[in-house]
Amino acid sequence: MAGYADDLALAHVLADAADAISMARFRALDLKVESKPDLTPVSDADTAVEKAIRATLARARPRDGVLGEEFGRTEATAGPGNRYWVIDPIDGTKNFVRGVPIWATLIALMEGDTPVAGLVSAPALGRRWWAGRGLGAYAGRNQHSATRISVSSVRKMTDASFCYASLNGWADNGRLDAMMDILLGVWRSRAYGDFYGYMLLAEGALDAMAEPELSLWDMAALIPIVTEAGGKITDLDGRPTADKSSVIGTNGLLHESVLTALARRG
């Protein structure tokens, strides 16, 4: 347990440095934006943040590897091991480049295939969320100004606030009709994309969120926060999430209902 506490303390240090870089570039008139091969945008802030985090980890955790969205996988300088950090330098780059303040740096620690600690820092919102396995989930402006968080107790879909990122992906995988039935049947639906819906889920502000495809760096930091807050995250088949996986996050009480509702293909 103490090990994860130490790792979370380091994650806060990493986030402090990331926030300073990203906020200096947010809404900057000279921000440089390019398109990656998959046509998603990458800014000079994305690459600068990841480089800074990698440099600190190389010094502070030489026995840990790193996987980042922008620069891929790097083995530990001390040799291959079981632990590695997963970094999304700016989750929500499309928001970032358009001046929308809903974006964050995602930092996770993996042991094998399991995320054991995660931190999400959204400096333009003035808020962070973090958790370590067995340590609980917390939110606040920083490590010293934090409140323990937990998911909601909503038990029925008709009472639920349901979140999604967009509808295009659900159309692509043949489940748009199923998603529309959910959105029309719940108490409330909103499209808070990227990390933000999962953090609202962990805080109990909404009850479920689903996305058709995410990469490991999109989700690794989110999993410990949601689960330590009492929630549940799986893929569409109810299995632990993996790279390029569909994701369903709920307060746990609604999980089977959401799985069942999304099982139907159009």
Q: Can you tell me whether residue 164 is helix, strand or coil?
A: strand
The residue from 94, 127, 148 where one domain ends is 148
d(CA 132, CA 8): 7
Structure tokens at 222: 């989110």
Beta bridge partners of 83: 111
| pLDDT tens-digit series, residues 40-72 | 889 999 999 999 999 999 999 999 999 999 999
Q: Is there a binding annotation on residue 256?
A: no
- Same domain for 12 and 136, yes or no, is yes
Q: Is there a binding annotation on residue 46?
A: no
The residue from 84, 119, 148 where one domain ends is 148
Beta bridge partners of 35: 41
Instruction: Report pLDDT for 248.
Output: 95
Q: Is there a binding annotation on residue 91?
A: yes
Q: Is there a binding annotation on residue 172?
A: no
Instruction: Report pLDDT for 143.
Output: 85
Residue 259: is it exposed, middle or buried by C-beta count within 10 angstroms (0-12/13-18/19+)? middle
The residue from 92, 122, 148 where one domain ends is 148
109 pLDDT higher than 80: yes
Q: Is there a binding annotation on residue 90?
A: yes
As a whole number, the mean pLDDT across the chain is 93
- Same domain for 118 and 90, yes or no, is yes
Instruction: Report pLDDT for 227.
Output: 97
Element (H, E) at 44: helix 44-60
d(CA 13, CA 33): 27
Residue 105: is it exposed, middle or buried by C-beta count within 10 angstroms (0-12/13-18/19+)? buried
The whole domain housing 186 covers 157-262
Number of neighbours of residue 213 by Cβ within 10 angstroms: 14
